[in-house]
Structure 1
């Protein structure tokens, strides 16, 4: 084999291995996602670029405060924050979130001037009983909310998110570069 054929063969192998690694990583480990809309403001902005770990929940469990991407329907994926996990009771009265009867701070809402305005409720009052006619989040399901409570289509509207519809956990915002951040759990 001539030198140029050897070189071509080596480059071909390297490119093939690189493509296979990218396919494996994108299929099983991480994927990217572009935020569409204002429902997660101020935490995530429209057109932010995210890395989503597909294996986070294979080796760990979904927890309160995690930001996840999930299949909302056959054509759309949504990004929201997990508020309730299986077995939780949830209510929000007078902008105070309670999970299992305990008040839960929501520091990610404090950047909204409207949220801290004493005369305006940022989150419309709700209970699971009033929304879904159940007292607890069912097994295999999750209750999610957008951080921009006034402009978010979330579990208050479409109900619980099925565990099998979860794509993964948001682990990083990589664009815009000046807003790069790793980890979003409060």
Structure 2
């Protein structure tokens, strides 16, 4: 009889259907046992994801209006400092106050004056060159209408500059000047000037209507604010110098 029971058990183990039924019964038993444990999920319920832990109340707070305003003011202040620094040390803009640099720069009474960008930094690392268009502080003998003037560098330290026969001469050499206003038909005569060390002889391109070193003398290199590099306004005059 015992052998018959053993053979029956072996027959169930070899029967796939029987094994599946046994596994289902075992899972039901385990589920019933877990449902009897306190805090366990109800039978047949689907396990749910653990709730996300809430952040502390102080971590959920948004920046206050005062905080946002303070950040905005700090940003604007930083921008203002950068702009002022650039204007003071690197690049500045100047309107042409007169027609003394026509036709290179426009500043006549009946036209829109050019706005010129001036590089204030380059002369800290390089020397002033002939034909540079420079902005400089008004020399003592210049008219007091403008605190700063703009002219072209003609004579360098140590050179002798003179004007005759409608041309400008550096020593005995005539200076080619394609920038001179053609309406002036050259440059009027003026006596020879020896340019001292550290000084520069400057002239306007509109030779028949320019108060320059022929009137107020040479200018000091220390009075030069910077070199004009471009016309930025009006847009139709936009160009490099």
3-state secondary structure, aligned to 1:42: coil
3-state secondary structure, aligned to 1:107: coil
> 1:137 Cα deviation (Å)?
0.8
Whose strand proportion is higher, 1 or 2?
A: 1
> 1:175 Cα deviation (Å)?
0.9
How far apart in 2 are the matches of 1:170 and 1:24? 18
> 1:23 Cα deviation (Å)?
1.3
Alignment of 1:115-154 (within 5 A): 115=185, 122-129=186-193, 136-154=194-212
3-state secondary structure, aligned to 2:179: helix
How far apart in 2 are the matches of 1:114 and 1:80? 17
Greater RCO, CA 8 A, separation 6+: 1
3-state secondary structure, aligned to 2:74: helix
| Greater C-alpha radius of gyration | 2
TM-score (norm 2): 0.66
Other-structure match for 2:170:
99
How far apart in 1 are the matches of 2:86 and 2:216? 31
Matched, 1:175 2:241: no
3-state secondary structure, aligned to 1:105: coil
Other-structure match for 1:39:
100
Whose helix proportion is higher, 1 or 2?
A: 2
> 1:2 Cα deviation (Å)?
4.2
Where structure 2 has 5 or more consecutive residues not aligned to the other structure, the ranges are: 1-60, 108-112
> 1:114 Cα deviation (Å)?
4.2
**Residue of 182, 202, 213 corresponding to 1:112:** 182
Other-structure match for 1:76:
147
Other-structure match for 1:158:
216
CA contact (8 A) 2:163 2:192 kept: no
Deviations, residues 54-86 of structure 1 (Å, cap 9, x unaligned):
112111110100001111157521110000110
Other-structure match for 1:49:
115
User: In terms of mean alpha carbon deviation, does 65-74 or 156-165 score higher?
Assistant: 65-74
TM-score (norm 1): 0.84
Matched, 1:90 2:161: yes
How far apart in 1 are the matches of 2:165 and 2:202? 19
